[in-house]
Each structure stands twice: as C-alpha cells, then as structure tokens.
Structure 1
Amino acid sequence: MEINGLSVLLFKTNIHTATDKEFMTQLMAQHQINQWTVDQEDVDCVLRIVSNEIQLNEVISLVSQHGYQCEELT
C-alpha cells in the first residue's frame, strides 16, 4: 500500500507489552525508522511502518532476530 508516495507495511506481531514497545522504539530508532506504530489493542498487535527506506523482508528479519513474531498482514 502507498500513501503520498511512501510504502505502508503492515505486520502481525506479538509486540503486546509496554516493555516490548519500548524495546521496539529503541530498535526502530537504531535503524532510522521514524514512522511506525504498534496497535497493542488489536488481536494481531499490528506493526505499521511508513517508509521507502526499508523493505518487507528486512522488517520481518529485524523484528524476528530479536525474538518477536513478525509476518506480513494480508
């Protein structure tokens, strides 16, 4: 999906606690991903990234390497 020429990537995750979200904040900053959110109220804990800098598989690998589940939300 695209918004204003930027790619919007959506993922199903298990990022559901405040500690998880705090860790993701640090991880995303390290990888210069500035536009992202996690909907912890959603059953799928949807991770949404808006960027043209990172690809779908890179996000899955990055998040999975740190022990979290991450798959494309279709």
Structure 2
Amino acid sequence: MELFILKTNVRSSVMRDVLALQINQIPQIKKWSVDYQDCDGVLRASAEGLSINSLMALIVQWGFECEELND
C-alpha cells in the first residue's frame, strides 16, 4: 500500500465534501483525509494499485489543484 501526501487547494468543509463525492468512488483508495484548515490543504491517501500521477490527474480532473509534498 502506498501513502500519498499532496498539497491541494481544498480550503473548506464544502470543498472537502465535494472531493469526498469523487474520491470515495475510487476503489483503490483505501483511506484518505484532507486537512482543509492547514495552509497547504494537505491530502493524505493510502492506495493500492494507483500511482501518484494517476491520483493527481484525477484530482485535477475534478477541478482541484494539487502537487506532491515531499516528507
């Protein structure tokens, strides 16, 4: 299982809920959270059989901004 950590433009509970409608439909994502109160809107996602690039492409497709955060 891979852990992905992304900086996003998710800045409110409404934006988080919109993201949840999409991300919960991806069976490869086993667990996820987003800290919309953090200045980086940090999204953490545990996934199996999904690459970081694929996840980032989906997030952008859904209308959000994201970039990989390094530890």
- Give the shorter-chain TM-score range: 0.7 to 0.9
Bigger radius of gyration? 1
- Post-superposition Cα deviations, 1:8-46, rounded to whole Å, max 9, x if no partner, equal 100000011111111111111111223000011211000
TM-score, normalized by length of structure 2?
Answer: 0.87
Structure 1 counterpart SS, 2:64: coil
- Indicate the residue corresponding to 1:26 in structure 2: 21
Give the RMSD, CA atoms, in angstroms. 1.1
Which ranges of structure 1 fall in alignment gaps of 5 or more residues?
1-5
Which ranges of structure 2 fall in alignment gaps of 5 or more residues?
none
- Indicate the residue corresponding to 1:45 in structure 2: 41
Alpha-carbon shift at residue 69 of structure 1 (Å): 0.6
- Counting matched residue pairs gives 69
The answer to whether the Cα contact below 8 Å between 1:16 and 1:45 also exists between their aligned partners in 2 is yes
